[in-house]
Chain A
């Protein structure tokens, strides 16, 4: 096992664990273990079944895919599982960002104008963020290997 491989295994394992933990936290907050919390730039609101229970379950599966890829040697299939795990994060984060975009473009029901101001639009993307959005930058390593086709080196 070369150095690249060990580093990538460590990176995938950590990302998988954190993704799993965030997914479980989403579900637990929705189930009422906590009324919803916000720490720094992280927020889990937990009110909506679709976003927090269903979305949380998808993050749980994403984490499990990444952790499942750690078993066995570094084959193409292992990398496929890592990509699927990352895709789960991209789906939840992508839809969260798209939802913010869709809510930020119009001015709001009470305002007389149709479009939001630039400040209002940018403000729509201000923190706090959902766990999936916070995980997004940490999947860049997978994107790097994916687009450079260097997964046979890991």
Chain B
């Protein structure tokens, strides 16, 4: 038998009195800091400081300590000479495929599957991925990430998204593959499409950042600036031309707390394992495929075909066609290849931006396909237009500045 409404409420009161203890709320320092970090006036400088710490720790650990400190020595002074000595017949095809250039003095220039391929995957990208995911997990588990989402909400609304779009963006700076899946935190198809497209075009992955840091450390800031500007401009345009709604969201902001190290370790292990499983085979396979394409003369033919576009419109040498083909397999690999081509600093910046905004890597491509082939086809159409327009625009800026 159902109780009348009044009796039901009385029963609720009785249960609540017996089970809920209400004390006086006393604001603590954690609450105050939590509050200060979501207010724009204090929160934005804190966000800048957190980003500074993020990038500084990333470059010190991945760049100065692991890659420059140890990996370069292991690969260039021990692994490469040993391979070059042990592998017979430097003029053979298998030498070219697996060891690469017999005269190379370092693994970046050799471009064999077991030299550049292994060095990029293990020596450069792995340390970058480990430190990136460690810091990302600490920010996530300490409660800072939801605050960043609140802070960024107004900015993201300008491009049709909301604050939680910061999650796929930050994930994308590690690897675009999980980032595409994370676009599901957004409510509408329009928002998911905008985010997926912007991720594929303007967010360089951790692997690419690691290689950029290694081969063009002085130009990383400029490349990131061009990508950030493009992210804003093309996000704004996409928001205006794509039909659909941009709903508001309510974000639950947890209090600050120390991350549990068991959780941090577990997340770090899972994410790193996933990287090793998904990305390392692509890097090794990528070097092999590019070398086969070089041997078959396909890269040379493509370079001749696209020469007018690359030289006249983008202002980069025609040799950059090869790295662009490799970029479909792995963008980090492509940046490593670019470093071996003679270019002016501005051409290098343009070429690296082109590699970033050009087609998503094959792993991201597959995940995007899983989200829907129509979305993928539309994203590719936007991408082609963006590469053409933005690549030409960067060249034009260079001409105006007198540096192109």
Q: Which residues of A contact B (CB under 8 A)?
A: 49-51, 54-55, 57-58, 61, 65, 76-77, 79-81, 83-84, 87-88, 91-92, 94-95, 98-99, 101-103, 105-106, 109, 114, 146, 151
Instruction: Give A23 Cβ to nearest chain B Cβ, in Å.
Output: 11
Interface size class of B (residues with CB under 8 A): 20 to 34
**Measured between C-beta atoms, what is the minimum distance from B91 to chain A in Å?**
31
Are B49 and A91 in contact, CB atoms less than 8 angstroms apart?
yes
Among candidates A58, A80, A98, A103, residue contacting B48 with C-beta atoms closer than 8 Å: A58
Seed contacts A79-B32, A103-B69, A109-B73; 13 additional CB < 8 Å A-B pairs: A55-B52, A57-B48, A88-B49, A92-B52, A95-B53, A95-B56, A95-B57, A98-B56, A98-B60, A98-B61, A99-B60, A102-B60, A103-B65
CB contact under 8 A between A91 and B53, given known A57-B48, A58-B45, A84-B42: yes
Say yes or no: B29 contacts A84, CB within 8 Å. Answer: no
5 tightest Cβ-Cβ pairs between the two chains A and B: A106-B69, A80-B32, A61-B45, A102-B65, A95-B56
Q: Are A102 and B29 in contact (CB under 8 A)?
A: no
Q: Is B36 an interface residue (CB 8 A)?
A: yes
Determine the distance from Cα of A79 to Cα of B29 in the docked complex, in whole angstroms. Answer: 8
Counting CB contacts under 8 A, is B70 at the interface? yes
- Chain A interface mostly helix, strand, loop or mixed? helix
Q: Which residues of A contact B60 (CB under 8 A)?
A: 95, 98-99, 101-103
| A83, B49: Cα distance in complex, Å | 14
B65-A106 in contact (CB<8A):
yes
| Contact in complex: A61, B49 (CB < 8 Å) | yes
Determine the distance from Cα of A114 to Cα of B53 in the docked complex, in whole angstroms: 27
Known: A84-B42, A106-B65. A114 touches B49 (CB 8 A): no
Cβ of B68 under 8 Å from chain A: yes
Most chain A beta-carbon neighbours within 10 Å: one of B56, B57, B68: B56
In the complex where A83-B29, A109-B73 touch, is A54 in contact with B65 (Cβ < 8 A)?
no
Q: Mark B199-219, 1 if CB is under 8 A from A, else 0.
A: 000000000000000000000
Contact A58 B70 (CB under 8 A): no
Closest Cβ–Cβ distance, residue B106 to chain A (whole Å): 11
Are A102 and B33 in contact, CB atoms less than 8 angstroms apart? Answer: no
* Residue among A87, A88, A99 with the highest chain B CB neighbour number at 10 A: A99
Docked pose: A143 CA to B62 CA in angstroms: 30
B221 at the interface (CB under 8 A from A): yes
B46 part of interface (Cβ distance < 8 Å): yes
Which of B32, B49, B68 lies in contact with A87, CB distance below 8 A? B49
Partner of B57, one of A51, A61, A79, A98: A98
Q: Are the CB atoms of B68 and A84 closer together than 8 Å? A: no
Residues on B with beta carbons closer than 8 Å to the beta carbon of A50: 52, 55-56, 221
Q: Which of B29, B45, B52, B73 contacts A80 (CB 8 A)?
A: B29
How far apart are B220's CB and chain A's nearest CB, in angstroms? 9
What's the nearest-Cβ distance from chain B to residue A81, in Å? 7
Contact A106-B27, Cβ < 8 Å, known A58-B48, A77-B32, A88-B45: no
Interface residues of B in 52-97 (CB under 8 A from A): 52-53, 55-57, 60-61, 64-65, 68-70, 72-73
Find chain B residues with CB under 8 A from A98 CB: 56-57, 60-61
Contact A58 B64 (CB under 8 A): no
What is the bound-complex CA distance between A15 and B70, given in angstroms? 40
Contact A65 B32 (CB under 8 A): no
Q: Which residues of B contact A51 (CB under 8 A)?
A: 56
Evaluate contact between B32 and A76: CB separation under 8 angstroms: yes
Task: Indicate if the CB atoms of B29 and A54 lie closer than 8 Å.
Answer: no
Shortest distance from the beta carbon of B49 to any chain A beta carbon, whole Å: 5
B50 closest partner in A (C-beta): A91
Contacting residues, chain B, for A91 (C-beta < 8 A): 49-50, 52-53
Q: How far, in whole Å, are A51 and B293 apart by their CA atoms in the complex? A: 42
* Min CB–CB distance B361 → chain A (angstroms): 27
Q: Contact at B64–A99, with CB atoms within 8 Å?
A: yes
Would you call B68 and A106 a contact (CB within 8 A)? Answer: yes
A selection of 21 A-B contacts at a CB cut-off of 8 Å is A50-B56, A76-B27, A76-B32, A77-B35, A79-B29, A80-B35, A81-B42, A84-B33, A88-B46, A91-B49, A95-B60, A99-B56, A101-B60, A102-B69, A103-B65, A105-B69, A106-B68, A106-B70, A106-B73, A109-B72, A114-B70
Given A76-B27, A76-B29, A95-B52, are A84 and B36 also a contact pair (CB < 8 Å)? yes
Q: Which residue of A lies closest to B77 (CB)?
A: A112
Instruction: Tell me which residues across on chain B come within 8 A of A80, comparing CB atoms.
Output: 29, 32-33, 35-36
Partner of A105, one of B32, B42, B65: B65
Q: Which residues of A contact B32 (CB under 8 A)?
A: 76-77, 79-80
Enumerate chain B residues within 8 angstroms of A58, measured Cβ to Cβ. 45, 48-49, 52
Chain B hits for A101, CB < 8 A: 60
The answer to whether B64 touches A102, judged by C-beta atoms less than 8 angstroms apart, is yes
By beta carbon, the residue of chain A nearest B56 is A95
Contacts of B65 in A (CB 8 A): 102-103, 105-106
Partner of A151, one of B29, B61, B68: B29
* Chain B neighbourhood of A109, CB < 8 A: 68, 72-73
